[in-house]
Amino acid sequence: MIRPLVSLSILLLLSITPVVEAQQPPPAHQHETAQSPPTQDDHAAHQSPAAPLPAFIPPVTDADRAAAFPDVHGHPAHDTSVNYFVLFDQLEWQTGRGSDAFSWDTKGWVGRDRNRFWFRSEGDRAGGLTEQAQTNLLYGRAVARWWDVTAGVRVDTSNTVYDGQRRILSYDAVIHSPEGTGTSTVSELAVIGRPSILVPFPHAIDQDQAANARHLAETGAALVVPQTQFTPQFLADALVSALSDPQSLTKRAEAARSAGVADAADRLADLVLEVAARKRGTGDKA
């Protein structure tokens, strides 16, 4: 009875041997890595496989990839189609206590790839009046990616009484056309010390503007030009000459300031009071 049992045991061991061999660790886990191909991501082997998609989501095909990322063969430079862009950074309206207020800040453009018309505007209104506003109308030309060169005109609107004085203080030089060389203008230019080009009104009966401008020109602060000689070419030459010699502008500004009378209003008030006191002392009626 022992012999058959030994034979049966041998047969069982032989039948188990292939199973044991099949459970040997695969070569991928051996320490000999000289034969393994290099990989770009060392962590790729540790990543878990992607989860299978739900049944209602179809697999991505090559046709889907082609539709999502089409080959546009480069951007069609200088396209002839007209596009536009408008952006509002601020657009507010308020009302209450019988008064409305409105504020805005916007910019945009319309045109083609390279040549465009730009506009920018911002301002505030209250009580039906524009307190301050600025509008820019510009021509723009694209010179590089994300960069445009613009040039144009700007219109400032203000309801502030002293806004003109604030603006003139920001100028480096002043050009006054005809009807702009009155007593007030010449006095302001002298007090703040600004070089200027003055064009007196030629048809004044007593030529008072010419006299005002001549007084400032005698100090070296102003350049007086007759209206008939005030041409675009003259203005271009004068600006080029002034910009090429900034020191001359500084000297002209100092000359203007030396001719200014900053306390003219106080002097005039004192003179009026002095005359009134004399009349009162003598009993004369003013």
- What would the pLDDT profile of 201-218 be if each residue is shown by its tens digit? 888 777 888 888 888 888
Q: 202: which residues sit within 8 A by CB, 6+ positions away?
A: 178, 226, 227, 228
CA 111 – CA 118 distance, rounded (Å): 9
For the residues of 246-286, what is the DSSP string, one character each?
A: HHHHHHHHHHHHHH--TTHHHHHHHHHHHHHHHHHHHT---
Q: What is the mean pLDDT of residues 33-46?
A: 50
Give 111's pLDDT tier (boundaries 50, 70, 90): very high
Higher pLDDT, residue 278 or 38: 278
Task: Render pLDDT for 156-170 as a digit per residue (tens, 0 to 9).
Answer: 877 654 455 556 655
**pLDDT digits over 117-157, tens only?**
999 999 998 877 788 899 999 999 988 878 888 899 888 87
Identity of residue 26: P
Most confident of 1-5, 72-76, 135-139: 135-139
Q: Which helix (H) or strand (E) holds 158?
A: strand 147-158
* pTM, 2 dp: 0.40
Contact 229, 158 (CB under 8 A): no
H-type helices in 23-159, by residue range?
62-68
Distance CA 74, CA 278 (A): 90
The H or E element containing residue 91 is strand 83-96
**pLDDT tens readout for residues 218-270:** 888 888 888 888 888 888 888 888 888 888 888 988 888 888 888 888 888 99
- Sign of the C-alpha dihedral computed for residues 72, 76, 80 and 82 taken in this order: positive
Fold category of 163-266 in CATH: Rossmann fold (3.40.50)
pLDDT band at 90 (very low <50, low <70, confident <90, very high): very high
